[in-house]
């Protein structure tokens, strides 16, 4: 009759030992892939944020330039004179209405400056650091 062929028994531990390196490599490649994709996404996101920041910087620079021009226009002597006459009702003073008075402080300041330039003399100035 027919003889039964002996079955080679395969242990579960032997199969796992053969599959373990393959599973480990697959897991390693998957982890490296996920880290690579994550880093690229972060780089692209940072690029978008940098682009937005540069746009904001250009916009703020234009706004600053516009405000400087507006300030210069508002401080123009001709405009100030026109506003003083039309809106505030001011007028130029009549002759003789302005009297010049000699300022003793100017004379004292010149004397102090001359003394401070002399050798060996130190004069304290306002706002000077010690």
How high is the pLDDT of residue 120? Answer: 57
Q: Is residue 13 part of a domain?
A: no
How high is the pLDDT of residue 2? Answer: 57
Going residue by residue through the chain (130 aa), what tens digit of pLDDT does each one get? 556 555 677 788 888 888 999 999 999 999 999 999 999 999 999 999 999 999 999 999 999 999 999 999 999 999 999 999 999 999 988 888 888 887 767 666 666 665 555 555 555 555 555 4
Other beta carbons within 10 angstroms of residue 84's beta carbon come to: 13
Please give the Cα distance from 128 to 119 (Å, whole number). 19
Q: Is residue 7 part of a domain?
A: no
Q: Is residue 58 part of a domain?
A: yes
Q: Is residue 111 part of a domain?
A: no
Residue numbers of the domain that contains 26: 20-92
Q: Is residue 78 part of a domain?
A: yes
Q: Is residue 35 part of a domain?
A: yes
Q: Is residue 39 part of a domain?
A: yes
Q: Is residue 114 part of a domain?
A: no
Q: Give the pair of three-digit tokens for residue 129.
A: 């650091």
Task: List Cα–Cα distances, 61 to 30, 48, 68, in angstroms.
Answer: 46, 20, 10
Contact, 79 vs 73, CB < 8 A? yes
Instruction: Report the number of distinct structural domains present in the chain.
Output: 1
What's the pTM value of the predicted model, to 2 decimals? 0.49
């Amino acid at each position: 009759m027919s003889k039964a062929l002996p079955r080679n028994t395969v242990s579960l531990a032997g199969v796992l030992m053969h599959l373990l390196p393959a599973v480990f490599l697959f897991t390693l490649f998957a982890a490296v892939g996920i880290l690579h994709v994550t880093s690229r996404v972060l780089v692209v996101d940072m690029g978008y944020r940098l682009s937005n920041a540069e746009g904001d910087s250009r916009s703020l620079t234009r706004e600053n330039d516009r405000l400087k021009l507006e300030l210069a226009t508002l401080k123009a002597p001709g405009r100030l004179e026109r506003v003083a006459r039309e809106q505030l009702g001011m007028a130029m003073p009549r002759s003789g209405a302005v009297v010049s008075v000699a300022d003793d402080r100017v004379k004292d300041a010149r004397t102090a400056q001359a003394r401070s330039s002399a050798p060996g003399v130190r004069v304290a100035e306002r706002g000077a650091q010690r």
